[in-house]
Structure 1
Amino acid sequence: MSERQSIFIVDDHPLVREWLGNLINQQTDMTICGEAEAAPEALSKIEALKPDVVVVDIMLAAGSGLELLKDIRRVSPESISLVLSMHDELTYADRALRAGARGYVSKRDTTKKIVNAIREVSAGRVFVSPEVQAQITERYLGNRTSSSDISTLSDRELEVFRMLGQGSDTRQIADSLSISIKTVQVYCTRVREKLGLAGHHELMREAFRWWEQQAGKAEA
């Protein structure tokens, strides 16, 4: 029998790590080599272990999943990353691929599909839904929707916007992302400009509205 693929899990929910770990260890061609709940811890372990596949959630208790994908590519370029998340694929999958992931799968999908996604990316293929494939094609053809669309935000700007929508203040955002309060304020200004929002109150209102939509999609 061929050697098992080593899988590393990054997710801030212990139950998810336990469930996914048990699922993977039941397979004859893969095994768990480690896990972490936050980006800094994950990066140091991944650099040491050099796993074949890293399964990453976009939303982490500390650090950014998108930034972690970029860091994994830097410290362990041989490791392949797959995003497993509850959050809207159409919002995050393209960003995840550009950050270094080879696929994006939802926690709402069947266990069979999740395992298949791991196998697909470990074999060197990209795993995304047909809807995301169409979205990526549209982007490369230059058919963007609107200059005020969320897609115009950078990864870091989107992280700040998301955390505002979740109710975090500037200090909490700065601490979570390991940046200064002044830098957070700069990102807020850029988001307002890109989304055509008049001031801070309008930014907060739009962030709350957007996050409620995202949470609703995750629960659907």
Structure 2
Amino acid sequence: MRDEREKILPYKIMPNPNLTAPSVDAKALKRVAIVDDHTMMRGGMKLFIESLPDFEFAWTSEDAREAMAALEADVPDILIMDITLPDRNGIELVKDVHAIYPDLPVLMMSMHDESYYALRALKAGAKGYLMKSMPNEVYERALRRVAEGGTWLSEAMSEQMVQMYTSGTKREGDDGLEVLTDREFEVFQLIGEGQSTHQVAAALHISTKTVDVHRSNIRTKLKMEDGSAVVRFAIRWVESRRMAAQ
């Protein structure tokens, strides 16, 4: 596991003063671990956790391998995990964590819009999904909700999921994408954002050859005639999600 003395951000993220935390003793502190491949994000989250009176920083890991090794030695009360990791898709990692540590709540965070991944994250066993762009007060509320045994989603996403389950229909815009694996779905979404094979490879920390394999699998599973059809469909899908979110 990476040395916890790694360089961290030179500023302190303060909690929302309007949120009051209950008085707790050291034994009641909720220990939080962080899995993210960005040093600045790990450092910022570490400072944020340490600024909350009823939470305690446990450890950080930069990839899935480190995280699983760290969990064997020290299981925290809450695990915060990025969805995009250099050695494995975060949602696939959540499935493994949930299988081995079923009582460990996982709060996923990502730069991707929650309409892309929130449902997949919850199905994998996560207890919540946060976009990295959310303000500190939202992170604090999410942590407290998960610490109390609840599930965290934004109000808008919660309404979408309620409508989906009560109506018994798929979310508008899914278009059969449930057949894709979580990694294939990541590739599909990045293609839809106009990224090239090299850009997708860099974003997901995989080789261009692996991206090509995923693109081929996506084309086969979605029954598209060629790669260009996949690109057109992906672009339309991403645009439809953006319009729905407005």
Q: TM-score range by the shorter chain?
A: 0.7 to 0.9
Shift of 1:135: 2.5
Which residue is equivalent to 2:141?
Answer: 116
Q: How does 1:196-207 map to 2 (within 5 A)?
A: 196-204=223-231, 206-207=233-234
Could you tell me how far 1:109 is from its partner in structure 2? 1.6
1:139–1:153 distance in 2 versus 1, CA, 3 Å: farther
- In the alignment, the residues of structure 1 paired with residue 39 and residue 239 of structure 2 have an alpha-carbon distance, to the nearest angstrom, of 24
Alignment of 1:91-110 (within 5 A): 91-110=116-135
**How big is the shift at 1:136?**
2.0
CA distance in 2, matches of 1:146, 1:83: 23
The Cα offsets for residues 159-207 of structure 1, whole Å up to 9 and x where unpaired, read as 34346564346xx69x9579x95x973x544422454532023324555
Give the 3 Å change call, closer, same or farther, for CA 98–42 of structure 1 in structure 2.
Answer: same
Aligned residue for 2:218?
191
**1:147–1:63 CA distance, 2 compared to 1 (3 A):** closer
Offset from partner CA, 1:65-86 (integer Å, 9 cap, x none): 1011111112322311001222
More helix by share: 1
Query: Where in structure 2 are the equivalents of 1:59-208 lying within 5 Å?
Result: 59-140=84-165, 141-144=167-170, 145=172, 148-151=175-178, 153-162=180-189, 166-168=195-197, 185=213, 187-204=214-231, 206-207=233-234
The yes-or-no answer on 1:31 pairing with 2:56 is: yes
Q: Displacement of 1:104 after TM fit?
A: 1.1
User: Normalising by structure 2, what TM-score?
Assistant: 0.72
Flag structure 1 segments of 5+ consecutive residues without an equivalent. Answer: none
User: 2:89 touches 2:182 (CA, 8 Å); kept in 1?
Assistant: no
- For 2:29 and 2:132, how far apart are their aligned partners in 1? 23
Check the 8 A contact 1:105/1:128 in 2, yes or no.
yes
How many residue pairs match? The answer is 212
Question: 5+ residue gaps in structure 2?
Answer: 1-24
- Matched position secondary structure for 2:60: strand
Identity value in percent: 32
CA RMSD of aligned residues (A): 3.3
Q: What residue identity is the alignment partner of 1:41?
A: E
Residue 146 of structure 1: how far off its partner (Å): 5.6
Q: TM-score, normalised by structure 1?
A: 0.79
Asked which structure has the greater CA Rg, the reply is 2
